[in-house]
Every structure is written in C-alpha cells, then in structure tokens.
Amino acid sequence: MRQLHLKAFAKVNLGLDVVRKREDGYHEVSMIMQTVNLFDRIELIRQKETGIRIQTNLFYLPVNENNLVYQAAKLLMDEFKIKKGLYINLHKYIPVAAGMAGGSSDAAAVLYGMNKMFSLGLSLDELMERGVSLGADVPYCLMRGTVLAEGMGEKLTVLPPVPFCYVLIAKPNISVSTKFVYENLKVGELAFHPDIPGIVEAITGQDLDGIASRLENVLESVTIPAYPVIESIKHHMKTQGAMNAVMSGSGPTVFGLYKDQQVAKAALESLRTSNLAKQIYLTTWYNRNT
C-alpha cells in the first residue's frame, strides 16, 4: 500500500470533572468524551527516500518533531525499523488549540494508518498502548465514539451511542493554554461538580434531554473569567434555541445541542453575524457503528 487517505475526527466533552490534584501535580478526571463529525484530512504516502516529511495548510503549524503527527510516525518507524520514508499531508479543519483534541486525533490517525500501510499487525489495544506516550487523548482518539474517561484520561469505558441531534460548534478568535487552565484550577474550591453518573444513565437510557440538562465543565471556572467571550457564545447559542451549551475541554470552543436542523442553521447564521466566533461548524455526532 503506497498511499492512504484518513479522517481524524474531533471530540467534545459532554461532562468534564476534575476529581483531585495528585501529589505529582497531575489531575485525575472523570469525563464523557464524544466524537463529532468534524475532521482533519490526512494523506500518507510511502517514499523511497528515508525520513518523515510533513505538509500542512496552516503556515503556523510545525512540520518537524514538534508536530504530533511526526512524533507518531517516528514512534512506529523506530520500533519497527521502517526504512522507507513517509510523506504526510495534513489538512486541518478542526480548530487548533481549541479543546477538541485535534492534534491527538491527527496522531491517532497516523498510528492507525501506518499500522495498515506497513502491515505492522498491531491490534487497537496495542496502538492505544503506544498512543498514550504521545498524549492522554490519543488512545481515545483511536477508539472514538462515546466513552467515559477516568484516571488521567487513560481509563476508558465504552458507552452506548448518544441519541441523534445537531451540534453547533464555535471557536472564538483566541487560544487557551491547557497548562494555564489546570495551573489555575482550584479543585478544592469548586462550587459544583458535573453529574457524570447522571450523564452515563441518560446516555444508556437514550434520554437526550437528560444529557443536555447535565452538560457541565469545571474548567469553565478558570477559562470564562479569563475569556468572557466564551460565556457570550454560550448565552448566544441558548437564546437561539440550543437545548444547552458548554465549553469543550480547556476551551475556548463552545458547542450547543439542537433537536431541530432549521433552528440550528438559524443559530449558525446568527452566530456568524455576531462576530463572537472565528470558526463555526454545524455537524452531528460521529457513531463508530455507522
């Protein structure tokens, strides 16, 4: 196989709770991860010349070892002593530094693609074991779908697919440092904790209203005071018919849930004219079974 075309899907968090800060400085979390039908496109091409070459549509992205797709390719090349070179064409659609695991999903796609292209014979579990060395979200991005993530995000439990709805995604013209958010999160002083078991129960019971009513993210307690536009986008989505809206990951991306497609489309147009967000997408859930 000389050439391979892949899709790297984005994720959102239906619920994100930070349980505690460990003595080593890392945080234990409990969160519901959900893949959405927004994806980057990745093309892998085998090369006669040795080495890894990356091309991307965004001028500011690194095309060397500082890019996770490079690190993913090198990890398998080194382990399996692959002598052939690899050209990676990465076309980004997922907002960058946005709390949607775009970089992790790109790395996961490269691991999956190289396993197939070079006939390495690795199972999904074996790919996930290697992926965690690149980032905590990479194993989930290999798995995809609706998943409960615990521990430092590495303990994954597959959940039933979420009921169908329309998902409006908006990223304001800012970038948020995940490190900044976690360093400023005061876990012991949190005024609320998301009802993660309640979300799991609502998903199991296919109760979309129950899921929407429980959307919460404790990281908003840090990110929204620093970047009030996030709250403005949430409010705008709700006033435009969203069942609920919440920030994904450490932000700044916000997503809102809609039952009706026309209402969701009208909300998208309204959001565009508001100038609150730079990147706006209307999509649906990704379901691994479809």
Answer whether residue 254 shows pLDDT above 90: yes
Catalytic residue of the set 17, 40, 106, 137: 137
Band (pLDDT 50/70/90 cuts) for residue 289 is low
pTM: 0.95
pLDDT of the residue at 22: 78
Residues of the chain with CATH 3.30.230.10: 3-158
Band (pLDDT 50/70/90 cuts) for residue 1 is confident
Q: Comparing C-alpha atoms, which of 177, 166, 104 is closest to residue 141? A: 104
Mean pLDDT of 126-139: 94
- The residues, ordered by sequence, that sit 6+ positions from 164 with a Cβ below 8 Å of its Cβ are 284, 285
Rounded to whole angstroms, the Cα distance separating 225 from 71 reads 34
Rounded to whole angstroms, the Cα distance separating 119 from 178 reads 36
Establish whether 78 is a catalytic residue.
Answer: no
Averaged pLDDT of the chain? 95
Establish whether 207 is a catalytic residue.
Answer: no
Mean pLDDT of 85-91: 97
Is the backbone peptide bond immediately before 172 cis, with ω within 30 degrees of 0? no
Judged on CB neighbours under 10 Å (0-12, 13-18, 19+), 12 is buried
- The matching CATH number, chosen from 3.10.20.30, 3.30.70.20, 3.50.50.60, 3.30.230.10, for 3-158 is 3.30.230.10
Rounded to whole angstroms, the Cα distance separating 101 from 261 reads 26
Lowest average pLDDT, out of 23-32, 191-200, 221-230, 271-280, goes to 23-32
Mean pLDDT of 86-108: 96
CATH topology for the 166-284 domain: Alpha-Beta Plaits (3.30.70)
Mean pLDDT of 239-257: 97
Residues of the chain with CATH 3.30.70.890: 166-284
Answer whether residue 34 shows pLDDT above 70: yes
Answer whether residue 45 shows pLDDT above 70: yes
Mean pLDDT of 215-223: 97
